[in-house]
Amino acid sequence: MSQFDLQQLLGGNRRALAKAITVIESSLDAHREQAQTILEEVLPHSGNSIRVGITGVPGVGKSTFIEAFGLYLIEQGKRVAVLAVDPSSPIAGGSILGDKTRMEELSRREEAFIRPTPAAGALGGVAQKTRETMLLCEAAGYDVILVETVGVGQSEYQVAGMVDFFMVLMLPGGGDELQGIKKGIMELADALVINKADGDSEKLAGMTQRQYTSAMSLLRHNSFWTPRVMTCSALTSHNIDAVWAMLLEYYYEALACNAFISKRNQQNLDWMRQLLNEMLLLKLSQNATVKSLLPDLERAVERQEITAFAAVKQIMEHL
Ligand SMILES: Nc1nc2c(ncn2[C@@H]2O[C@H](COP(=O)(O)OP(=O)(O)OP(=O)(O)O)[C@@H](O)[C@H]2O)c(=O)[nH]1
Ligand SMILES: [Mg+2]
């Protein structure tokens, strides 16, 4: 990236931002070094945003919510970036962009930047690239970063590990096994937001809210923040302002008690450790001697001819 492009990016130029993200997402060897340079250059300009993770089962209304919430934030004078982590999408431009129909107005706004899920493949996977893209968006002056993920797999953990606040969208009613959302994910939640609290469902949403409020109080939370349970309607924008008010409350409380910065520090550290693990594994799997030894060792362990520890020790000697 030229100095000119970097200045453009820092000035909030969307084309320069998109170009930089393309380099970050590229799996070409030639781009890898360039990507590192870009990241090092933007790092000092990153960090000035609220990072919000949004998850929920298909159909809960994530896209509709992001459209309503994003437009509300723009009204409040914010610039909003929307990123997606969808490991099930094999190609870039998959799910979230197909969704631009649901974010039609938002995607047309100058103050919004919407980026689909990156293609899978490289070190650290899809979530890794989203994390880096987030830094670029911050450097380009986006105040709120919304990271969307489908609430069905491992990606929620990765998203929760890169945001300041993690929100789970729910449906009115449900009840049965927390609507297919795993308990582990509820434990990650800083807020449950019951969407579609409108029309005939409004009453039910209120009941669901009370149910989840007591369910959540049974979960252990080792943080200054007690997770909230609230209702909204992405369709009518009812309570969308209350969701933002809650986020701001979290933000100022977290800042005041130092939890904001210490959470981010911890996330940085986790990120590094995860990368280190992956690189070590990669190196190991590329080692020719290890490759040739491995089948025999695995067979020997299977048949209990040697212990697992002895096998691993032999492998480590070749690293
Ligand atoms: N009544 C009502 N309908 C809603 C609301 N929010 C979303 N919907 C509808 O629910 C359906 C699914 O909404 P989406 O926003 O596409 O849901 P999603 O979570 O993004 O779904 P996936 O992208 O498939 O994971 C659409 O028909 C929306 O119009 C709401 O607040 N109230
Ligand atoms: Mg969607």
Lowest mean pLDDT among 37-51, 167-181, 201-215: 167-181
Q: Which residues contact 158 (CB under 8 A, 6 or more apart)?
A: 85, 125, 127, 149
List the residue whose alpha carbon is closest to atom 23 of ligand 1. 58
pLDDT at 242: 98
Using the predicted structure, report yes or no on whether residue 96 has a pLDDT greater than 60: no
Q: Which residue has the higher pLDDT, 310 or 187?
A: 310
Task: Give the nearest ligand 1 atom to 169 CA.
Answer: 19
Phi and psi at 282, nearest 5°, equal: -60, -45
- CB count within 10 Å of CB 113 equals 25
Q: What is the pLDDT of residue 99?
A: 59
**Taking the chain, what is the end-to-end CA distance rounded to the nearest angstrom?**
35
Mutate to test the pocket of ligand 1, among 57, 63, 95 (most ligand atoms within 8 A of CB): 63
> How many whole angstroms from 68 Cα to the centroid of ligand 2?
13
| Biggest distance spanned by C-alpha atoms of the chain | 68
Its sign, for the CA torsion 121, 124, 125, 128, is negative
Tokens of 70: 């994003």
Return the number of other C-beta atoms located less than 10 Å from residue 27's C-beta: 13
Q: From ligand 2's centre to the CA of 58, what distance in Å?
A: 7
Give the tokens for residue 45.
């300009």
The reported pLDDT for the residue numbered 88 is: 62
Average pLDDT, rounded, for the chain: 88
Between the CA of 62 and the centroid of ligand 2 the distance, in Å, is: 5
* Ligand sitting nearest the alpha carbon of 195: 1
Q: What is the pLDDT of residues 184-203, one digit of tens each?
A: 788 889 999 999 999 999 99
Q: What is the 59 CA–ligand 1 centroid distance (Å)?
A: 5
| Nearest to 173, CA basis, from 196, 150, 191, 199 | 196
**Each residue of 133-161: pLDDT tens digit?**
999 999 999 999 999 987 667 788 889 99
Rounded-to-integer distance, Cα 230 and Cα 169, Å: 10
Whether pLDDT at 93 is above 50: no
Contact in structure between 138 and 147 (CB atoms under 8 Å) = no
- pLDDT band, residue 26 (cuts 50/70/90): confident
In the chain, which segments carry CATH 3.40.50.300? 46-256
C-alpha to C-alpha distance for 103 and 94, rounded to whole angstroms: 15
For the CA of 67, the nearest atom of ligand 1:
15
Distance 94 CA to ligand 2 centre (A): 11
Q: Which residue's alpha carbon is nearest to atom 28 within ligand 1?
A: 61
Encoded tokens for 245 = 């008010």
- At 127, is the pLDDT very low, low, confident or very high (cuts 50, 70, 90)? confident
Residue 64, pLDDT score: 95
| Whole-number Cα distances in Å, 319 to 284, 307, 310 | 7, 19, 15
Question: Mutate which of 57, 62, 64, 146 to test ligand 1's pocket (most atoms within 8 Å of Cβ)?
Answer: 64
**What value does the CA radius of gyration of the chain take, rounded to a whole number of Å?**
22
- Residues within a 6 A CB radius of ligand 1: 56, 58-64, 99, 102, 150, 195-196, 198, 233-235
Q: Is the pLDDT of residue 130 over 80?
A: yes
Query: Could you read off the pLDDT of 283-298 as tens digits, one per residue?
Result: 888 899 999 999 999 9
Q: From ligand 2's centre to the CA of 93, what distance in Å?
A: 13
How far is it, in rounded angstroms, from Cα 86 to Cα 297?
36
pLDDT above 70: percentage of residues in the chain:
88
Please check the confidence at residue 57 and state whether its pLDDT lies above 80: yes
pLDDT at 101: 66
Q: What is the distance between the alpha carbons of residues 162 and 182, in angstroms, rounded to a whole number?
A: 19
Of all protein residues, the one whose alpha carbon is nearest to atom 10 of ligand 1 is 61
pLDDT of residue 103: 86
With a cut of 50, say whether residue 94 has pLDDT above it: no
Burial of 245 (0-12, 13-18, 19+ CB in 10 A): exposed
pLDDT of residue 92: 44
For atom 7 of ligand 1, which residue has the closest CA? 61
In three-state secondary structure terms, 99 is helix
Whether residue 56 contacts residue 170, with contact meaning beta carbons closer than 8 Å, is answered with: yes
pLDDT of 254 reads: 96
156 CA from centroid of ligand 1 (Å): 19
Please report the pLDDT score of residue 97 as a whole number.
Answer: 47
| pLDDT for the residue numbered 309 | 95
**CATH number corresponding to 46-256:** 3.40.50.300
pLDDT digits (tens, 9 = 90+) for 217-270: 877 777 889 999 999 999 999 999 999 999 999 999 999 999 999 999 999 999
Q: How much is the average pLDDT of 166-193?
A: 80
What ligand has the least distance to the C-alpha of 152? 1
Closest alpha carbon to 142 in 79, 82, 51: 79
